[in-house]
Structure 1
């Protein structure tokens, strides 16, 4: 019936029919043949410039403080869709409204200022901190302040060392030019989707990954468990999602990207029934010998990355302990402060330690 409606009885060039889907693979081939939906336009997530323009649109009717820099916010939201960016501005407005109301009520209760003076002292503007909180809410959900107060000292220590392990590895691999990203935030404030998190962002939009960058991502993922094992002599369930990420990247390095001793191979896409999904209908297009070799390769990559991660953390154990205590007290450390703390503790990793394989980029420094 749809094809009949598209054709009609008489051709009319003034009508353009458009449709959208996120599953083009399940469409009837008759729909996408020439004369039907024959032009397919892929809409990717916006780049940095696009994100900035979208933020300008969604903040048009919102009062922003002078220090709010939409370019910085765009740089801190790689991969965000237009809807997520709208969510950032909306959440920031809610956070600002609650903050302003709380401050006004505090001044009213003190009874020292008139309403006019209170209005002048408390600007009704969205601050940069409000926008940062908006990003956190979209990414990780709202903060659980009550949960933070109920956390035991043991849980706080576990979370602090876990997140610091992630951050340390990412920053070290960035400074060594081995594929890491600079740390922008470390927090142990519980949110809807995590007890804490570490934010490390690339210097610009990234469209491809080198093997060095993928190994750095695996090492960062394993940094949390490694830190708990080294500094607390314990392991817990908090690293399960980290393991999934590390395994997924290592597996793809072997089966899709040709980044292992098996060479340039691409296996595992057997053409599953799209209505059943990959997990139910997928099947391997290779034999048991290759399957075993693949398992050996991706597990080898994860093991190597984990051992290198532990080596890096153990080399700066005392410095990490100092900063972990500070993180416990402050709960959130931003990137510039993190770098300053490392410098003050005289524990900043050199761009390339003697004897380490720091790659061609670092060797050229």
Structure 2
């Protein structure tokens, strides 16, 4: 019916999702000659070497046609042209021009299919992405829960896994993990198992590996009782609000066991997998994240007073500022209306932002953005304090329990809250709308001091 085979296939996806592994699978199953090289091998300091290597590669491929050429990390030579300051006679550009000509130029190269992989499609030249060159763009995204379970099963074949370990449960506990992350999870669990002289990888080793990957290496336990109690109040504030606030990510565990890098303790939440898979984030979910992220600062205010708060919430404040600004400038979740005033930042090397020193909105609009961001953060802190103040006895009980046990799992934490609060978790409290109130002077899934 006149259809033609696409000449170029571009694999796009985050790092670690298996783009190069798919290319290796194609090499083994295609049944035709397969040429493979990295894009960085084309680029040299000597002028013309890169273009010459491209010509040689396609000359060999045409002699073996039909065949497949695979170029890994093609963004090394395929970046947007015209970014050079003071001229475009750059070796990388000459290499890209030769590649464009070989893919779809004056001479015919029928029988040669070009396969490429990149995790930076935003920086590729538009001429490289047009129909006739890379016709097919295949997105290799992060795996869903069933995909993670299958990937864990592949890596578990060569390791002695205890019968009690449920790969399905661990797939549910690792949303957002790539294939490389999951392989690393099982490898770290195997290392911990060998270190403890055990014969099988159990749930304890898996949990230790997950914490090592997400939070860093374990440090020596805290000995200072005053500091330990202060951190306990901070982390219980996060954990209690994650349990009380509707739309918040559920609590996985809260612990006082420190981690390398200055993390004295942390409350870890499990991101909502439906949100990760769909990519659709609601206003209520972002409002809940603001309140939970400010739980540590709110607990310090309730327990110690405004004069005794610490800098432990600095990372939380960074998160709150970023979320609040995105709500105002990107998602239209404010009184400024349904407008996108800022976008993803572009890289300087593309040559597009050298001369743009001012934002694409007026100074008055910028002032309003700053005010609305501050008001969103202040209102979230007010809501967090309002939820924690009447529950001071519960906070003290949870802090004593955390200091005694050092770690409380999410289910046990929710059971204590439900018993003391007389409500079921995430049903007994509600947060008012985080619309600005005019008081401007007042997860992240993992937060820590």
Q: What is the TM-score normalised by the length of structure 1?
A: 0.82
The answer on 1:97 being equivalent to 2:171 is: no
CA deviations on 1:205-231 (whole Å, 9 max, x unpaired) are: 312221111010011110011112222
Q: When you count helix as a share of all residues, which structure comes out higher? A: 1
Name the residue aligned to 2:143.
46
Name the residue aligned to 1:342.
417
Name the residue aligned to 1:196.
265
Report the CA distance between 1:347 and its aligned residue.
5.8
Q: RMSD in angstroms over aligned alpha carbons?
A: 2.7
* Secondary structure of 2:273's aligned partner: coil
* Secondary structure of 1:264's aligned partner: coil
Name the residue aligned to 1:239.
313
Name the residue aligned to 1:130.
205
Match of 1:12 among 100, 110, 125: 110
Judge conservation of contact 2:383–2:432 (CA < 8 Å) in 1.
no
- In structure 2, relative to structure 1, the CA distance for the partners of 1:216 and 1:87 (3 Å cut) is same
- In structure 2, relative to structure 1, the CA distance for the partners of 1:182 and 1:213 (3 Å cut) is same
- In structure 2, relative to structure 1, the CA distance for the partners of 1:93 and 1:231 (3 Å cut) is same
- In structure 2, relative to structure 1, the CA distance for the partners of 1:357 and 1:236 (3 Å cut) is closer
* Secondary structure of 2:116's aligned partner: coil
Distance between the aligned counterparts of 1:279 and 1:157, measured in 2? 48
Judge conservation of contact 2:102–2:109 (CA < 8 Å) in 1.
no
Name the residue aligned to 1:307.
382
Distance between the aligned counterparts of 1:75 and 1:277, measured in 2? 42
The answer on 1:261 being equivalent to 2:340 is: no
Report the CA distance between 1:69 and its aligned residue.
0.8
The answer on 1:286 being equivalent to 2:369 is: no
Report the CA distance between 1:35 and its aligned residue.
2.0
- In structure 2, relative to structure 1, the CA distance for the partners of 1:339 and 1:251 (3 Å cut) is same
- In structure 2, relative to structure 1, the CA distance for the partners of 1:345 and 1:353 (3 Å cut) is closer
Distance between the aligned counterparts of 1:239 and 1:356, measured in 2? 21
Aligned residues: 329
Of the two, which has the highest radius of gyration?
A: 2
CA deviations on 1:128-179 (whole Å, 9 max, x unpaired) are: 12111111111111211x2x24x42222112211111111111101xxxx31
Judge conservation of contact 1:222–1:243 (CA < 8 Å) in 2.
yes
The answer on 1:156 being equivalent to 2:225 is: no
Unpaired runs of 5+ in structure 2?
A: 1-97, 435-449
The answer on 1:211 being equivalent to 2:283 is: yes
Distance between the aligned counterparts of 1:165 and 1:172, measured in 2? 11
Distance between the aligned counterparts of 2:345 and 2:285, measured in 1? 29
Distance between the aligned counterparts of 2:177 and 2:357, measured in 1? 30
Q: What is the TM-score normalised by the length of structure 2?
A: 0.68
Judge conservation of contact 1:96–1:125 (CA < 8 Å) in 2.
yes
* Secondary structure of 2:331's aligned partner: coil
Unpaired runs of 5+ in structure 1?
A: 102-123, 360-365
- In structure 2, relative to structure 1, the CA distance for the partners of 1:358 and 1:19 (3 Å cut) is same
Report the CA distance between 1:341 and its aligned residue.
2.2
